[in-house]
Amino acid sequence: MKTIKLGLVTIIAAMGMISCSSDGDDSPKNDVNPLAEFNLVANIEANGHSLELYSEGKTGFNTGYNELFVRIKNNADDTYYTNPEITWLPVMHMMSMNHSCPISELSISDDYDTVATGYIVFQMPGNTDEFWDITFTYEVEGQEFSVTETIDVTAPSDGKQTVTSFMGSDDVRYVLAMVEPTDPEVAVNDIKAMLFKMESMMSFPIVENYTIALDPRMPSMGNHSSPNNEDLTYDAVTKAYNGKLSLTMTGYWKLNLKLLNSTGEVLKGEDITDENEASSLYFELEF
Amino acid sequence: MNIIKCVHKVCTILMETSRPIYIWVLLLGIFIFPINIGAQELVLPKDSIITINLDEVILISARKTLDYHRQPKPLSTLDEYLESSKKVDMVKRGAYAWEPTLNNMFSERLSVTIDGMRIFGACTDKMDPVTSYVDVSNLSQAHIASGQQGTEHGNTIGGTINLELDRGNFKETGLYGGVETGFESNNQMSVVGAELNYSNSNFYVDTDIIYRKAENYFAGGDEEVEFSQFEKYNFSANGGYKIAEDQALTASLIYDEARDVGYPALTMDVSLARAIIASVGFEQDALWGSLSNWKSKLYFNKVTHVMDDTKRPDVPIHMDMPGWSDTYGFYSQAALQAKKHQFLFKVDGYYNKSLAEMTMYPNDPNELPMFMLTWPDVRTANGGVYAEDELDLKGSFLKIATRMTVQNQNVADEFGLNSLKIFYPEMEKSKTRFLKSISGQWHKMWMPWHFNAGLSYGDRAPSVTEGYGFYLFNSFDNHDYIGDPGLVNEKSMEANTKISWEKSKLKLSGEANFFHIADYIIGEIDPSLSVMTIGAEGVKIYKNLEYANLFNTSLDLEYAILPELTWSGLISYHRGTDNNGDNIPFISPFSYRSGLQFDNRSFSAALRITGAGKQVNYNPEFGEDQTQAYTVCSLTFGKTFKFNNDSMYAKFGVENIFDENYSTYTDWKNIPRMGRNFFLTLSYSIN
């Protein structure tokens, strides 16, 4: 009997402790580092502030879709500004011209008011003569600041194409980037891509209501394809194109694509046939 | 000339010690020879053919009965023994590991067991039928039961092949042993075997070892069949101990390993095929007063199979395809005798894990290997009860048997489950099926006439390949196959009959069976799917056909011209069609065999002719083409020599005397069969 009583007491005490610790949720958000699990890809020091850029999986800037997390530290007291208003503009400085790339706005994340998130789609890497920089314009404590920093954009280490910039048959230049899958599996994967139109050198608005036809192939397996793929269609909520990608085995896959406008007219890409083994519009992945 | 060559070859084998396997054989041989062995009491096994069942028993071990003269070719492979059955045909993909078919049905419709133990091959391409993991040295006989008459050992449609282990069984035979060697000229096959046994009324132990090695064989006209070599060895031990007058413990172990096995009809060979088969048993004469012959067994077996294409030139892509199949099982059975009834009750169960994978290496070394699970770690749990009653109805017998089984299959590997969900997004991880069988078999005698008739119903669950296979390449019809976990059970309604007339000199019997198989499982082309295997024509998905009908009939004749001289003949006809009247693949054409046998106990000679007519009913959709008619002849001579207590038996023969280049309907991709072949076997037994 004694041991049972002792056990009960212990359990009740333990429960009390658990409920106590759960009260700790009210503590200020900034006490925990919300980006502890992320990689710091750039730290820009200017105006007595540090602009920290984080990525979830990557260790640097790569061509293709880059989801980034930005926060601003006040170097004077090592605190992070809450709800900073930030805009960004990446620019590629080429030999003959400058241009930007598709970006989102930087918006404060739902979970942490010190962190702003957004994405940049770099459509090309930098090289010895040509480089990317990003200009951040931000307002903290009622004052506007600006800083420009050169960044190093490289092709992904596996060299696989996840972004493509091309001229459609409608004489419009498009940028198409694969967002998911980031971790493909032998299964039916969700595939997500974003499509932008190059309106000017500096403006890349999202293109809505087109269709991206999908035909995944394995060139090393006699162009084997998989069943039950679904073409990517536009989702107004995420402003992205979503579809289904079946991968029957690991290895190198070429995702042959065809871009169709809202009236079903093919703007880029070809069907895969015995004669034509690949489309001119494609993504690649290897796992 | 050939004999000299043979003897020479045998000597070289014994002298060659560079291979570790030889050393084992030699050691055992040396171990056996000097032993002085006591007198042996000969115990001839009583004829185990049950009168009611239309079963067939193939005697494999003649060693203990000194019945060599009844064997057409001692030390031949188990496959050759099985092929001598009237109902069994062997599918050949090379010189090794033939796949038995019964009533023109393949492995998935049969239940092949070793002493009642369930065991499943680990190869997705059927390169390792269960029969390839035992050798003749392990076995006393093969018991072949057609259709639902074979459900004692598991649910089946086509029938059962139960391979019975050779064991001392508490006979007062003392210590005895033997060595055997054989050589075949055509493929330079050499066989060496040895056995050592001890048995008395309280204790027995049997051990044997056998080693075979063969080079490529030559088809008729000296055509070399490349990649038809093989090498294998097999070791087995089994024993029993009486713990009381009416109780005994038994145990058995088989270790079987084949290496460097060529499969000329396939695109891949095998670098390793290994099985460990073990069991412990308990036997008691009586149970709860009225039950008798209570036998229980716990067993496990572990099969590893590794395919290899590194020796093949010009493969489009190199790949590794290992497979594993582990089975754990039990059974317990007891008999009950009550006046006119003779009951047998049995409960059994097994748990099998089947896993197979494929890794392909792209020709571009910078690309990552391509990996898939071809059997997604399917766990099959199966439990059943079986009951039979043999009724004596004054002048006739009736046997009624039934089996009820519950089977659950569970895809244990998440990777594999996700792979299959590409095809079947709604599929469940686990699926349970109920299987049942009921059969009635009647035997009436009006001497010298016998009449047998049977009616039965039974079903089976889809095999792992049919339910869960993932891009399994079938080189016969050049298609990739994908399983369907949603297949329904295949159901068979079966009728059989046999009329025989038996007098001392003349035996004549006619036999027929008919299977109406509803929801017949077969691959169907899905044109929307893209092939995986480079060079394949298309992809097939296993489907339930509405039904298929199979019909087999045969006429059997035996006439004793003299007491020592017998003539026998057999002709058979088979037909298989689906619900559209299309031909089912792998159905035998009209076939025949005839033999003249002389036997006076010390000397025997036999002339045999086997053949088949031109295949009329075949199905090109399954890769079949018309198989031409053929006739082959063989001639054998056997002689027993006595040395004091010991005896030596020599058998010499020539097969395919006229070196005919032929293939049969079961030869995968028409690979030709062996041409003229001389063989010599020598068995020396020490008593």
Dihedral angle computed from the Cα positions of residues B415, B421, B427 and B429, in that order, rounded to the nearest 10 degrees? 0
Does the distance separating the beta carbons of A187 and B418 come in below 8 Å? yes
The 10 Å Cβ neighbour count of residue A213 is 19
Q: Looking at residue B30, what is its pLDDT? A: 37
Interface probe, candidates B532, B533, B534, B541, chain A, greatest A C-beta count within 10 A: B532
Looking at the complex, report in whole angstroms how far the Cα of residue B107 sits from the nearest Cα belonging to chain A.
28
Q: B-side interface with A, Cβ within 8 Å?
A: 316-317, 358, 360, 362-364, 367-373, 415, 418-419, 421-423, 425, 470-471, 528-532, 534-535
Q: How far is the CA of B231 from the CAs of B75, B80, B211, B256, in angstroms?
A: 15, 17, 8, 11
- Contacting residues of A for B527, CB less than 8 Å apart: none
Taking the C-alpha atoms of residue B298 and residue B328, their distance in angstroms, rounded to an integer, is 8
Whether A264 contacts A251, CB under 8 Å: no
B669-684 confidence digits (pLDDT tens): 899 999 999 999 998 8
Q: Looking at residue B25, what is its pLDDT? A: 38
Provide the number of CB pairs (under 8 Å) joining chain A to chain B.
Answer: 81
| Torsion sign (Cα): B262, B263, B268, B274 | negative
Domains, chain A: 30-154 (2.60.40.10), 163-286 (2.60.40)
Taking the C-alpha atoms of residue B159 and residue B146, their distance in angstroms, rounded to an integer, is 4
| DSSP string for B529-568 | SPP-STT--EEEEEEE-SEEEEEEEEEEEEEEEETTEEEE
Does the distance separating the beta carbons of A188 and B421 come in below 8 Å? yes
Q: A-side interface with B, Cβ within 8 Å?
A: 185-188, 218, 220-228, 246-252, 286-287
Does the distance separating the beta carbons of A249 and B370 come in below 8 Å? yes
Does the distance separating the beta carbons of A248 and B419 come in below 8 Å? yes
Does the distance separating the beta carbons of B419 and A252 come in below 8 Å? no
Question: Of the candidates A224, A227, A251, which has its C-beta nearest B422's C-beta?
Answer: A227
Using alpha carbons, select from B520, B522, B516, B463 the residue that is nearest to residue B490.
B520
Most distant CA pair in chain B, distance? 79
Using alpha carbons, select from B101, B157, B134 the residue that is nearest to residue B667.
B101
Q: Looking at residue B13, what is its pLDDT? A: 35
Q: Are strands B538-544 and B479-482 parallel, antiparallel or unpaired?
A: parallel
Whether B336 contacts B345, CB under 8 Å: yes
Q: How far is the CA of B568 from the CAs of B202, B494, B556, B558, in angstroms?
A: 42, 28, 8, 4
Does the distance separating the beta carbons of A222 and B360 come in below 8 Å? no
Which residues, other chains included, contact A148 with Cβ-Cβ below 8 Å and sequence gap of 6+?
A133, A134, A135, A136
Q: Looking at residue B67, what is its pLDDT? A: 58
Q: Are strands A116-122 and B472-474 parallel, antiparallel or unpaired?
A: unpaired
A58-97 confidence digits (pLDDT tens): 888 999 999 999 999 988 888 888 888 999 999 999 988 9
Residues paired with residue A176 on neighbouring β-strands, in sequence order: A164, A195
Q: How far is the CA of A55 from the CAs of A40, A66, A70, A117, B422, in angstroms?
A: 7, 8, 9, 10, 31
Superfamily of domain B2-686: TonB-dependent receptor, beta-barrel domain (2.40.170.20)
In this model, does residue A20 exceed pLDDT 60? no
Does the distance separating the beta carbons of A218 and B370 come in below 8 Å? yes
Q: And the tokens for A179? A: 């967002």
Q: Looking at residue B168, what is its pLDDT? A: 82
- Contacting residues of A for B377, CB less than 8 Å apart: none
- Contacting residues of A for B530, CB less than 8 Å apart: 223-227
Whether B224 contacts B215, CB under 8 Å: no
B21-44 confidence digits (pLDDT tens): 444 333 333 333 333 333 322 222
Looking at the complex, report in whole angstroms how far the Cα of residue B518 sits from the nearest Cα belonging to chain A.
29
Interface probe, candidates B373, B413, B419, B484, chain A, greatest A C-beta count within 10 A: B419
Give Rg (Cα) of chain B: 25
Does the distance separating the beta carbons of A252 and B362 come in below 8 Å? yes
Taking the C-alpha atoms of residue B539 and residue B478, their distance in angstroms, rounded to an integer, is 9
Looking at the complex, report in whole angstroms how far the Cα of residue B273 sits from the nearest Cα belonging to chain A.
26
Q: Looking at residue B588, what is its pLDDT? A: 92
Looking at the complex, report in whole angstroms how far the Cα of residue B90 sits from the nearest Cα belonging to chain A.
33
Whether B168 contacts B206, CB under 8 Å: yes
* Burial degree of B253 (CB within 10 A; 0-12, 13-18, 19+): middle
Q: How far is the CA of A207 from the CAs of A214, B62, B420, in angstroms?
A: 18, 83, 35
Taking the C-alpha atoms of residue B27 and residue B38, their distance in angstroms, rounded to an integer, is 22
Task: Give average pLDDT by consecutive 10-residue segment, chain B, 687 residues.
Answer: 38 36 39 33 32 68 57 79 88 92 92 94 93 90 90 93 88 88 93 92 93 94 93 94 92 95 92 96 88 94 94 89 96 92 94 96 91 96 95 88 96 95 94 95 88 94 95 92 95 94 90 95 94 92 95 94 92 94 92 92 90 92 90 92 84 94 92 94 85
Taking the C-alpha atoms of residue B347 and residue B334, their distance in angstroms, rounded to an integer, is 9
Rounded to 5°, the CA angle A246-A247-A252 comes to: 140
Residues paired with residue B547 on neighbouring β-strands, in sequence order: B518
Does the distance separating the beta carbons of B317 and A220 come in below 8 Å? yes
- Contacting residues of B for A228, CB less than 8 Å apart: 422-423, 425
In this model, does residue A25 exceed pLDDT 80? no
| DSSP string for B418-432 | HHHHTT-TT--SEEE
Taking the C-alpha atoms of residue B134 and residue B247, their distance in angstroms, rounded to an integer, is 28
A157-173 confidence digits (pLDDT tens): 888 999 999 999 999 99
Question: Of the candidates A247, A248, A252, which has its C-beta nearest B368's C-beta?
Answer: A252
The 10 Å Cβ neighbour count of residue A178 is 26
Which residues, other chains included, contact A111 with Cβ-Cβ below 8 Å and sequence gap of 6+?
A29, A34
* Burial degree of A150 (CB within 10 A; 0-12, 13-18, 19+): exposed
Taking the C-alpha atoms of residue B24 and residue B77, their distance in angstroms, rounded to an integer, is 20
Taking the C-alpha atoms of residue B226 and residue B269, their distance in angstroms, rounded to an integer, is 11
Whether B510 contacts B533, CB under 8 Å: no
Whether A120 contacts A66, CB under 8 Å: yes
Taking the C-alpha atoms of residue B583 and residue B594, their distance in angstroms, rounded to an integer, is 28
Question: Of the candidates A224, A228, A287, which has its C-beta nearest B422's C-beta?
Answer: A228
Q: Looking at residue B53, what is its pLDDT? A: 60
Interface probe, candidates B368, B370, B541, chain A, greatest A C-beta count within 10 A: B370
Q: Give the 3-state secondary structure of residue B615.
A: coil
Does the distance separating the beta carbons of B530 and A224 come in below 8 Å? yes
Whether B419 contacts A248, CB under 8 Å: yes
Instruction: Dump strand ranges (E) for B185-246.
Output: 189-199, 203-214, 217-219, 223-225, 230-244
Q: How far is the CA of B171 from the CAs of A143, B68, B197, B279, B487, in angstroms?
A: 105, 20, 11, 21, 49
- Contacting residues of A for B425, CB less than 8 Å apart: 188, 228
Looking at the complex, report in whole angstroms how far the Cα of residue B352 sits from the nearest Cα belonging to chain A.
25
Q: Are strands A153-154 and A61-62 parallel, antiparallel or unpaired?
A: parallel
ipTM: 0.82
Question: Of the candidates B370, B421, B470, which has its C-beta nearest A250's C-beta?
Answer: B370
Which residues, other chains included, contact B326 with Cβ-Cβ below 8 Å and sequence gap of 6+?
B300, B301, B302, B303, B352, B353
* Burial degree of A144 (CB within 10 A; 0-12, 13-18, 19+): exposed
Q: Looking at residue B607, what is its pLDDT? A: 95
Using alpha carbons, select from B185, B227, B250 the residue that is nearest to residue B10.
B185
Domain ranges of chain B: 2-686
Looking at the complex, report in whole angstroms how far the Cα of residue B266 sits from the nearest Cα belonging to chain A.
19
Buried/exposed B107-127: b ≥16 CB within 10 Å, e otherwise: bbbbbbbbbbbbbbbbbbbbb
In this model, does residue A10 exceed pLDDT 60? no
For A56, left (φ over 0), alpha (ψ -120 to 50), or beta?
Answer: alpha
Does the distance separating the beta carbons of A186 and B529 come in below 8 Å? no
The 10 Å Cβ neighbour count of residue B24 is 15
Q: Looking at residue B54, what is its pLDDT? A: 64
For B20, phi then psi, to 5°, come to -60, -35
